[in-house]
Amino acid sequence: MQRQDQHYSKGLFRMLKNRKKYWTVLLISLFLASCNQTQETSEEESSSQATAQSSSAASTASSETEEASVESTEVGDRLGKLSKSYIEIMGSGNYYMAFRSTTTFEGEMMEAETMMTVSGDRTAMHSKSAETDTVMVMMDGNIYMVDHASKTVIVMPQTMTEGDETLPEIPKSTEPVEVDDIEYIGSGEEDGLVYEEYRTESGTQIFYYFDGSDLKKIKTIDESFESVMEILELSDNVSEDAFEIPADYQQVTY
């Protein structure tokens, strides 16, 4: 049992080491759409106003240019507002997010459906895959791994070390996200969805896929991993049940 727990904790440590980068990329992905689309919309509106003031001698050409600019503005405004609504919910520090993800990390592919609940400095993630069904709760400076099958709870500090490595702190929903090095690349269509591409200074690619006004998925490509996240639900409906640790389960503390 002890050897199994040690093996489990090492696997958990490895997973959590990459959790910070994964969630940071997600937060950047959601945040940058609002910033970039707002800026683009503002520029397009200025262009539209300037076109409307052009001389009557070029009225036909001006009208066509204005219509194209207005159409582009409407698209940018729609996508910007959509992304902004996601950011406002996540920025509140209290939200529920359900998503289906496929992540390839260091040659290994992981598929899971995750229900994440955030309430202040507490985060709970319930992940289901073909092999696992685990609950991870981060609160009070600890990480609780709940295994309902064996009725056990593994407890460890968020600052746990493994050898010479230290487990990075999980980013809080209230932490600021740096987006200065993010560049808008362009847009296009793929599999019937409209997408927008962004890129960070370090080379991480971020794609948004929209079906009309609905954000369907986010794809991130980095040198170490690739992830496709299909957003199923994002709301401010937070349940306290997500943070409940079964009192009758055996606890193993590290």
Instruction: With cut-offs at 50, 70 and 90, classify the pLDDT of residue 250.
Output: very high
The neighbour count for residue 112, using CB atoms within 10 Å, is 19
Taking residues 165-193, report their average pLDDT: 64
Tokens of 239: 């349940």
DSSP conformation class of 147 = E
The neighbour count for residue 42, using CB atoms within 10 Å, is 14
Looking at residue 243, what is its pLDDT?
96
With 70 as the cut, is the pLDDT of residue 234 above it? yes
**How many CA atoms, within 13 angstroms, populate the side-chain half-sphere of residue 88?**
6
Q: Looking up tokens 């609905």, which residue turns up? A: 214
The neighbour count for residue 175, using CB atoms within 10 Å, is 11
- Give the torsion sign (CA, 27, 236, 123, 98): negative
With 60 as the cut, is the pLDDT of residue 150 above it? yes
Distance CA 78, CA 82 (A): 6
Judged by average pLDDT, the poorest of 63-67, 144-148, 156-160, 219-223 is: 63-67
Taking residues 81-92, report their average pLDDT: 64
Looking at residue 117, what is its pLDDT?
92
Model pLDDT for residues 23-82, shown as the tens digit of each residue:
444 545 544 444 444 444 444 444 445 444 544 444 544 555 455 445 444 544 444 454
Taking residues 136-163, report their average pLDDT: 82
Q: Looking up tokens 């937070």, which residue turns up? A: 238
Looking at residue 157, what is its pLDDT?
87
Looking at residue 181, what is its pLDDT?
66
Distance CA 14, CA 110 (A): 14
Instruction: Give the strand pairing for 152-157 and 250-253.
Output: parallel
Of all residues in the chain, the percent with pLDDT exceeding 70 is: 57
Taking residues 152-164, report their average pLDDT: 72
Cα 206-208-214 angle, rounded to 5 deg: 160
**Cα-atom radius of gyration of the chain, to the nearest Å?**
22
Q: Looking up tokens 């409940």, which residue turns up? A: 244
Q: Residue 129: left (phi > 0), alpha (psi -120 to 50), or beta?
A: beta
Domain annotation for the chain: domains and CATH numbers: 2-38+89-253 (2.50.20.10)
Taking residues 131-137, report their average pLDDT: 84
